Structure 1
């Protein structure tokens, strides 16, 4: 995965990177000291993303989008050598076939749009937003209340709140992206903004998804993966700050317009994704199951199929 990812565990690397975990130089020591401060900021950002807090972090504690240069991934010859592991620093970066740089890291925030990157980034697909901008679309695998933390909510259909997996778009300067791997400049220099890519949601019946009825079945406009055929909520846990949640999106694919040539493929740019798994109430019956979703990225509309 080309995106650096960071889970809310204190042993994983995140934040700034100067030197390596085994580098005893003054520069590396200074980098580690600086990281201890940044690590606290990182954990705060992750906690806010997990618990659903929407307010922006203060300027002195926010991790700007694309500013992290440390890598979570390592070269395979690192093995189980724990001496290479240090909070906030890259580990073994002796890649056999080239160079890696992170574009965005979980916990970072766009200070202008308020979008914070959550989950486990997966299913990436770039396309030209305009002649000067490349938009990278990816989803964030997240399991919501069925495992541990709920991601912060986002609103669709003029008031319906979702948690769980998000679908993000990160816009990058096209010319700077072309030079990104040939310099040491962080991705923040080329990133223009991050946005949520789902604003309208239709269920498998072609109905606009509505707010969940807390007192009984949602008979019209229910979100399919969470209900039975009558609209009763059938998952083993409910979101605490949202109506519905996308269950761990996975196996996603960006299908650009006319992907295989003129007149072949979709007539629009479409992002395809699927909800991966769920846990149902053991007493539930006649549940609908996990659907697929096709997202028209131009209109930010998700269609359940």
Structure 2
């Protein structure tokens, strides 16, 4: 297996894992919808791999795009169409995907020229591939007037099906524009990940120093609490000694400045120590990003020579 094949396999597996995760997160009682989602996305990606040779980035961008569409659709239904039967929602979910695949099949020659070109479009052409989003967004936004009205489940089913059918028609008509947009997205992601590969070493170094910061201060918190009088922590509202596991957790949320509030410093000494860690964490963040950018520029300049 060549290097490009391994990269492709990794991208496909990552995308598949994301799709599976989304399908299992859409609801507790949506097992059949999960199956519909997985089959729809997998079939669409397989279609583009088969019909358009050399479309690996295009198909991966499509898979991610459909995963995003799945999330939006679930939110869309939960917000505006709570009374719709599951069967109707499942059919409505498939309509835009079917519209795009059908349009892509009928315009496969034009799309094949786009896919095999392997280049990002110029700015003016790229802008021309985006207007298809406007009618889709308008249809979705218009349906947010529905919850304020007293619709029956049957009326909601009709409205959902009509809205998704309208989106399917819009996507069918501009399938070549959608394909151009997805191709550009895939190529941009490819270029991005190539640049990210150059950051492995400095990013690993940054994570190492970050981990040292977390572990050292976790130990200091634990030592201070164990070998000094009184309690320094209030843990879920109770003043008591902190365990090392809790100390490590407190160190992480302190250096990240999250502050959930479940573990709170009570003593002045502990507050001072926490403030020192925060300052070190901010400095590490600033210098870390600076070093990563410097390393990237130097590496890029060396490769350019």
Same fold (TM over 0.5): no
TM-score of the two chains, using structure 2 as the length reference? 0.27
TM-score of the two chains, using structure 1 as the length reference? 0.27
Between Structure 1 and Structure 2, the one with more strand by share is 1
Indicate the structure (1 or 2) with the bigger Cα radius of gyration.
2
